[in-house]
Amino acid sequence: MAQTLRDLSAEELAWIAESTAGLLRQQPDATAYTGFDDPPDAFPAVLRSERPC
Amino acid sequence: MLSLTEAAAALRSGAVTSQALTRDCLDRIGRDNPRLNAFIAFDGEAAMAQAQAADRARAGGQPLGPLHGVPLAHKDMFYRSGAETTCGSRIRTGWIAGSTATVLQKLDAAGAVTLGRLGMSEFAVGPLGLNAHFGAVRNPWNTERVSGGSSSGPGAAVASGLCYGALGSDTGASIRVPAAACGVAGLKPTYGLVSRAACMPLSHSLDVVGPLARTVADVALLTSVIAGPDAADPASLASPPGLVPATPGALPPGLRIGVPTSYFTDDLDPEMAALLAECHAKLAELGCTLVPIAIPAFREAAQIYGVILGGEASSIHGKWLRERPQDYAPQVRGRLLAGLQIPAADYVTALRARAGLLRRVLAEVFTQVDVIAAPIWCRLPPRIADVESETVQQAARTVGGVLRATLPANVLGLPALALPTGMTSAGVPAGAQLIGRPWSEPLLLSLGHAYQTCFGTLGLPPAG
């Protein structure tokens, strides 16, 4: 990574820091939508449950 | 020019030959591609040889597939064994695939002719259709404006009749945004309905493959060919055979159409709002009931999009970001590098939130309405010269604005049909997306087809 970051301009580095912080600020609290026990791979199961017979 | 479904029927009946249709497409490519830049590569001789073989097969009484002899072209991200796939990038220019995408195998088996490989945003990063390596694909209705992306070549080529249909991919916008800006139909299918095996990945949790074509009926035919389970794609979900019929069915009575009162309307340009309202009024004319609905879960879905996309895309590109950073365009490299800073716990949290959000949308939204009719572009598609000269920060804001209306469907895995709705003051089309519950493609296609049967399509743009 260090080699990559060295190649970037100050503008690019500032944007990366800003955009990453922005992404993380937006991150909602998963517990508002899932139970404590819900795993990260539960999503396809919800889709499967909707599948027509 | 015939639509794809009309062309397929005419080929079966013998009213036209594949060689005539293919020659016509090649003539259009020769005339219009220099100003549109829709193709990365095309091979006229190979296409004519395929067309000749298709005509011989018909003359010989061989069984004909549903796309027998129909000329298509695809976003340059679908691998074909022994052929180059650039993914719109410098890094993969000259790269030869070792296997063929399942979706291409299905189109081959259905008898389609392949004209060539279509332009795209670099590695499908970016919804405007810009590309620092191959040049921007231009909007066929107004070549000063963007085509939309990342399936930029499919949007422009299909709209201008350079091919009868095309495959694209959609990770947050990439079928619907170019379809809307170019005035064609496009389907982002339910996550897991269409195989992505041997297709370039951007985000394994969000990527889907789907068709673009000039009419909804054309999109239905293409979807019926490419849909279905595939053991070669771990995300593929089993679906009943024939889930998506080749011809859209009749519109069911009493459909409830959700008219969004939040999120989609928060930053909607008045002109785009007026076009969307016209679309809603036409859906009511078809006998649908309009139901105003707030959709808070869509805003929350949008909030986790960047974490999932960033985490997965930066993982896929990690090796090249370390070894060949100079070979990415700065804006693409910047977006991918931002993903490398995302903590693992936040990525997993986003994935955990996803299932709960979908359950909530099913319980709170799709019990009140059958389909949501939402905007695709919230603002007018910009001029290419304006966005090509943006700073990295300005570009990030522009990209975020373009993705805003389309990315919730990717987080939630929902199908969404892009439907052309009219022309904007910028001289380019606008479109609406019909979003349904998982596996509701037959309903969305019936609704879109009924809309086009009653109110027509935009037709071809004026030749430049």
pLDDT in tens, A27-46: 655 556 666 677 889 999 99
- Maximum Cα–Cα distance across chain A: 55
Contact (CB, 8 A) for B219 and B163: no
Name the minimum distance, in Å, from the CA of A6 to any CA of chain B.
10
pLDDT for the residue A32: 62
Confidence class for position B394, pLDDT limits 50, 70, 90: confident
- First-to-last alpha carbon distance for chain B, in angstroms, is 16
From B330, B351, B362, residue closest to A12, measured CB to CB: B330
Positive/negative CA dihedral, B358, B103, B91, B213: negative
Prediction ipTM score: 0.89
Q: Provide the strand spans (E) within B140-247.
A: 165-170, 185-188, 208-213
Please name the residue that has the structure tokens 């395929």.
Answer: B50
**What is the C-alpha to C-alpha distance for residues B154 and B137, in angstroms, rounded to an integer?**
10
Of the candidates B454, B447, B443, which has an alpha carbon nearest to the alpha carbon of residue B432?
B447
**What is the C-alpha to C-alpha distance for residues B388 and B398, in angstroms, rounded to an integer?**
11
Positive/negative CA dihedral, A26, A29, A34, A37: positive
Name the minimum distance, in Å, from the CA of A10 to any CA of chain B.
11
Answer whether residue A9 shows pLDDT above 80. Answer: no
Give B-chain residues touching A1 at CB under 8 angstroms: 321-322, 340
Please name the residue that has the structure tokens 């469907």.
Answer: B409
- Tell me if A47 and B190 make a contact (CB, 8 A cut-off): yes
Q: Which helix (H) or strand (E) covers residue B437, if one does?
A: none
Question: pTM to 2 decimals?
Answer: 0.95
pLDDT for the residue A30: 53
Report the SS3 class of residue B41. strand
Question: B227: which DSSP letter?
Answer: B
pLDDT in tens, B232-265: 999 999 888 889 999 999 999 999 999 999 999 9
- Tell me if B342 and A45 make a contact (CB, 8 A cut-off): no
Q: What token pair was written down for B206?
A: 């969000």
- Tell me if A34 and B334 make a contact (CB, 8 A cut-off): no
pLDDT in tens, B183-205: 999 999 999 999 999 999 999 99
Contact (CB, 8 A) for B214 and B184: yes
**What is the C-alpha to C-alpha distance for residues B181 and B421, in angstroms, rounded to an integer?**
10
From A24, A51, A53, residue closest to B346, measured CB to CB: A24
Name the minimum distance, in Å, from the CA of B173 to any CA of chain A.
18
Question: Across residues B49-53, what is the average pLDDT?
Answer: 98
Question: B171: which DSSP letter?
Answer: S
**What is the C-alpha to C-alpha distance for residues B128 and B399, in angstroms, rounded to an integer?**
8
